Each structure stands twice: as C-alpha cells, then as structure tokens.
Amino acid sequence: MMNLIHSNCINRSQISSSPVSIHGVPLPRRNKKKHSAVRVSNFAASSTEVVADNGRRSLTASVDSKSRALTSGMSSSALEQLDIERGVCIPFRKYSPETVRNKVLESRGAVASLILRGVEIVWKLGLYWSSLMYDCLVGRDKEVVPFRARQLRNLLCDLGPSFIKAGQVLANRPDIIREDYMNELCILQDDVPPFPNQVAFKIIEEELGQPLEALFSKISSRTIAAASLGQVYRATLCSSGEDVAIKVQRPQIEPIIYRDLFLFRTLASFLNGISIQKLGCNAELIVDEFGEKLLEELDYTLEARNIEDFLENFKGDPTVKIPLVYKNLSGSRVLVMEWIDGIRCTDPQAIKNAGIDVNGFLTVGVSAALRQLLEFGLFHGDPHPGNIFAMRDGRIAYVDFGNVAVLSQQNKQILIDAVVHAVNEDYSEMANDFTRLGFLASGTDVSPIIPALEAIWQNSAGKGLSDFNFRSVTGKFNKLVYNYPIRIPERFSLVIRSLLTQEGICFTLKPDFKFLEVAYPYVAKRLLTDPNPALRERLIQVLFKDGVFQWKRLENLIVLAKENVAKMSSNPALQVKNGPTSRSWQTVSKLDLTDTIKDGARLVLFDEGIRRQLLLALTEDSKLHVEELVDVYKLVEDDINIPAVAMEVVQDFPNVVRDFLLSWSNSVLSNR
C-alpha cells in the first residue's frame, strides 16, 4: 500500500508531466522559457475530498464499494486513499486520528481535562442550540437571525482558537451553513483579540534563543494584526537595519488544539449517520479534513516553505511581490519575514493618492490569482484585504502563507475543461466535471443537475461581461448545493473564497470593475500560446463545436489574448525603476503565436480528422471561406515574425520528416 502511495506523490519541486501528443500527433518538447519552474509544497496538499453515499436529497447515487469504504473509514489509511484518488499525496502527514489521540492521552490529567473541556463545550453550545429551538417554537427564528449569527461568532471566540478557526472554515462552506451566518463568521478572519505583548516577546526569545535586544533594534508596542493562531509585530533587525514582520504563535495553543480535535472527532463518531443523511458526507472525515489543515498552519516552518514555493513560482513575474523569509530567525512558533510597505486594498483613496494606476493594479491582481490557480496549482487560500497590499510601484504583494492549497495537474486540467464546456454550453459535460472534481459522489446520476447548471450559467453569462460577477453565481450555486447531493471539497471552498474575496477587493477599488474582462483575456492567451499539449487539446475543443469550425470564436480569442498582452505590457509596474537601475526583465509587447502556428501545422499535416474538419470549415455551405481566413490573418499579421517562424520551421524540418515517416509507417502497419 505504501509503495502505491509514494508512487503517486507529487514531488515538491515539480508537477506531473503533461502528455506530449494531441490526437496521437507527436509534439516537440519545449523548455518553458517564459515561466519559472512550478513548485508545489507537499505540506500544502492537505485538503481531503470525501466521496460519500448520500441519502438526503432528491437524487439517487449508486456508490461503489470503494466509496462506501471511504465513508466508513476511521483511520489515516482512508486519508491516504483519498490522496491517491485526487492525484496528490503527502509523504509526511502531521495529522492522523491516532496521532491526536496519543498526543492527548499521554499527558498527565488528560481524562479530567477532557471531561472538563467537554462539559464546557456541551454546556455553551447546548445553551445556544436551545435558544435556536426556542426561536423556532415561538416562530421568530427568521427575525432574530442577525442577532443569533453575532451570538454564534462571540461564542466561538469565547471557546478559543480551535473554534475560531472552525468558524473561519464554516464562513466558506455553503454546503454546511446558511449564507447569513457565513457573512457574520467572515468577521473572524480579520478581527480576533490579541494576547499580551509580554507573553509574545517571551515566546520570541524562547524560540530564537536570544534576547530581543540582541536581534531587533526596535519592535512595535502594538500588534499589527491578530488572528486565531497568532499575531504580528513590526521590528527592525540589528544586523542590517531592515524592517521585518514577526509572526508569533499564541501561547500554549498546541495542546488546546489537539484536545479540541480529539473532542471534535469523538463527537463526530456519533454524528456519522446524521451527517451522511443531512450533509451527504462522513462527519469524521470532515473533522479529519479540518484537523489536517489546522495542524499544518500551526507549524510556522511549513509556512516558511510555502513562502519559498511562492517566491520560486513568481520569481520571473515583475508584477508580484512575495516577502523574503529569514529562516535563521524562524522556528515552529516564530516566523520572521521581510516587511511589506504597501497600502491596504481596502483604502482606494490612499492607492489613488500614491499615484498607482488602479486599472493596472487590478489587472495584475486578477492575472496573479489566475496564474496561481491554473498555472501553478498552488494558491493563496486566504487572500482577504489584510493579506493583500498595493505596492507604490503598482505591484501586488501577498502576505500570510499559512493557509495555502494545492490543485493537482489533473484538477487543473478538469477546471480548464469546465471553462471549455461552459464556453461550448455543454452542460452535460459540466455536470460530469463536478463528479471528476469530487463535488459529486462517483456514480451519481447527474441528469437532474444539468438543467440547474444551465439555468445558473445562462442567467449569469447571458447578461454579458458587464453584469457578470462571481458573487451572484456563487449565491445561486449555494442554493444548488442544498437541493442536490453536492459537497464542496475543502480546497475548492478555498478557490471559491479566493475568487470572491479578490473580486470584492476589485469592486472596492473600482465599483464598475469587470472581473471577466481581465480573466477572459488571460485564459484566451493561455489557450492560444501555452505549448502544453493538454491546453492545445482544449483549444481544439473550443474551436470546434459539433464538428463545425468556429471562425468567430477564433477571432474573439485572438482579440482577447492581444488585449491581455497590451494591458500587461503597458502596466506601470513594468516601467518603474528600482533604485539606480531598472529591473532586469523583458516585457512581452506582442502576442507570440510562433509555437501555436507550428503545432497547428503539425496537426494539419499528421491528423487526418483535423485536416478534414478544416477543409470542411473552409468550404462550408458550398462556398470558400476566404474572407474569414483573411480576417484572422489581419488580426495576427502584426504579431507574426515571418522570418523567425520560417527559421524555426527550417530548424524543425528534420524532426517533422521523422515524425511524418513514423506516423505513416504506423498507419500502414495498423491497416494490415
């Protein structure tokens, strides 16, 4: 079993290689000159999908024996199996139910502590539950929702860091909690009471083994930010005079977290039946999913590694700032990072006063978010306004990398498939994408979901880019979650929150900002220019609908891709000088379609099906479509360097001849 697990692991410094052919046509391997090597943190890949039997809603799901085994799994082996199924696994796991149990029960007086804590939790939550039941009995449950939501937030704060973190998670889970409560719990993400400075400074000295005066010439007397697991100070290094941010963990938090996780899972074992019936998933695995992520955030050495991964991924991007981490001054409870002297994204006037081009900054932000999601597969899981800053030179800066998530290569390709299916209005395949991503249990009948998906997408996208926004789509999707057996995997709840939060920031800075007007050009550029054969395959799917070539769609893709290049190349963040010398990077000012043209020529040469479809497209309706071809050429003529393309064709000619002969010989042999 362990050999199988390790053979499916994603290496820390690479993601699984993509196929090197389309429709059986070999494509040349290329070095990705434009992008840095993608790094994926092993420890970030901790989200757990639950494939569970479901009996609470109108659909019927025929779940195979493997799925049933997962719903009843009570050990870490179930988590390992889930890792294999989603294409990501972890060679070392900080969390397992057995580890938590052993950690809690090994301490002296553990049983008495558990009983007292259990009584406290049951008493306080029981009183709150009783008040909800009373509201229902007297018929005022709808009237007092805002009050009860605030009461729940205050109760979670009172119960401690584990419950604050649980509230933050629930704020992004429409499959578990209703929307009005979610909105109130969002306050927990950036408004938690701090602990005393004296305690924080003592932890820093204990962790680093030196007095504060020996390391820092000054340190802020007040916290810069406070969260559920720690708080942040600003300081100046004695050695270099550089300003840094010091993140300090709350005192004695680890035993509290372990104790609460043990109680959570014990309670969950009694709720499995109700959970499967009402929520469509196993309660124990929900706790495992939460506990795994929580223990990772508790170890700041893992956050330091996440920062290194982001630095590596964005090292060639002139529009994104990731803080450096001082590993020699960091430990499991203290993290020292470069101070980010930026402007909070919730202050549009300050951004304008600093002379920052708002449109350029928003374009940079959306592009950075989409690169994390669709290119790297490693994305910031908590991009609320306190974690994103506008630099005075137009760059976007991210901080707080404790909560990051990973999408496997397979998941990224399925997401792109979903975009392609949405463009082609293929709602049946969109529903199947939900199953492939883990939103639906394997074997679920998706036919009743198809009309609901069609209604959501057409109502949202049919209004055009001017009225489309993720919040309205998410609101409709939340209702879909309650009507059908859909569960949102943890990492995709982070994706949804990330998109919603960043769209909210965009609206704060520019109320009439159109998110898709930036997102679509980015996706179009990737489809047209990325040499990844998987994306080449998706491009073909976009350009052919029901066997008919879509000339207008090709023109739109080219226009959108050129728009993305123009916006990025004219961005002020690329023009600013950094000190006495300008930044040493090259700005791409034209849409480079060289590789696309070469790969397209290969497909036409080798693939009989593609060749036939193109001939039909050129002669559709018994007429030559020369005009459409001329229109496409006019769009790209300024972006094609004919001599350069010709030179590359000549250099690649021997490989083309070899591949042609191999293809011809294979076809001859296969016909015998």
User: Do 63 and 435 meet the contact criterion of CB atoms below 8 Å apart?
Assistant: no
User: Do 15 and 40 meet the contact criterion of CB atoms below 8 Å apart?
Assistant: yes
Active site residue 659: no
Half-sphere exposure of 383 (CA within 13 A, CB side): 31
Backbone angles phi, psi at 571, to 5 degrees: -70, 135
3-state SS class at 389: strand
Backbone angles phi, psi at 243, to 5 degrees: -80, 140
pTM of the prediction?
Answer: 0.75
CA distance readout (Å), 89 to 4, 12, 40: 11, 11, 11
More confident residue, 7 or 517: 517
User: Do 231 and 225 meet the contact criterion of CB atoms below 8 Å apart?
Assistant: yes
Which string of DSSP letters, residue by residue, matches 492-543?
HHHHHHHHHHHHHHHHHH-TT--HHHHHHHHHHHHHHH---HHHHHHHHHHH
What's the pLDDT band for 383 if we cut at 50, 70, 90?
confident
For the ranges 100-104, 209-213, 407-411, 665-669, the maximum mean pLDDT occurs at 209-213
Which of 134-143, 233-242, 325-334 shows the lowest mean pLDDT across its residues?
Answer: 134-143
User: Mind listing the pLDDT tens digit for each residue in 562-583?
Assistant: 777 777 766 666 655 444 334 4
Q: 191-251+299-339 has which CATH code?
A: 3.30.200.20
User: Mind listing the pLDDT tens digit for each residue in 281-306?
Assistant: 677 877 887 888 889 889 999 999 99
Residue 233 clears pLDDT 90, i.e. is over it: yes
Residue whose token pair is 């036939």: 612
What's the pLDDT band for 20 if we cut at 50, 70, 90?
low
User: Mind listing the pLDDT tens digit for each residue in 471-521?
Assistant: 777 777 766 766 666 777 777 877 877 787 788 888 888 888 877 777 778
C-beta atoms surrounding 558 within 10 Å: 20
In the set 260, 288, 382, 426, the catalytic residue is: 382
* C-alpha span between 208 and 211 (Å, rounded): 8
Residue whose token pair is 């007007």: 517
User: Do 468 and 460 meet the contact criterion of CB atoms below 8 Å apart?
Assistant: yes
User: Mind listing the pLDDT tens digit for each residue in 138-197?
Assistant: 888 788 888 999 999 999 989 988 898 888 877 766 666 777 787 788 777 666 789 999
Question: Which 8-state DSSP code applies to residue 375?
Answer: I
How many residues are recorded in the chain? 672
Residue 242 clears pLDDT 70, i.e. is over it: yes
For the ranges 275-289, 355-369, 628-642, the maximum mean pLDDT occurs at 355-369
Question: Which 8-state DSSP code applies to residue 333?
Answer: S
3-state SS class at 232: strand
Bridge pairing between strands 230-237 and 243-249 = antiparallel
The pair of structure tokens assigned to 290 is: 């939460």
The pair of structure tokens assigned to 384 is: 């609320």
**Would you list the domain boundaries of the chain?**
94-190+256-270, 191-251+299-339, 342-513
* C-alpha span between 562 and 590 (Å, rounded): 7
C-beta atoms surrounding 612 within 10 Å: 11
Cα dihedral angle (282, 302, 493, 314), rounded to 10 degrees?
-150
Instruction: List the beta bridge partners of residue 231.
Output: 226, 248
Element housing 54 (H / E) = none
Residue whose token pair is 């496409």: 632
| pLDDT, averaged across the chain | 76
Cα dihedral angle (4, 7, 8, 10), rounded to 10 degrees?
150
Residue whose token pair is 């690479």: 14
pLDDT at 35: 43
Residue 328 clears pLDDT 50, i.e. is over it: yes
User: Do 56 and 76 meet the contact criterion of CB atoms below 8 Å apart?
Assistant: no
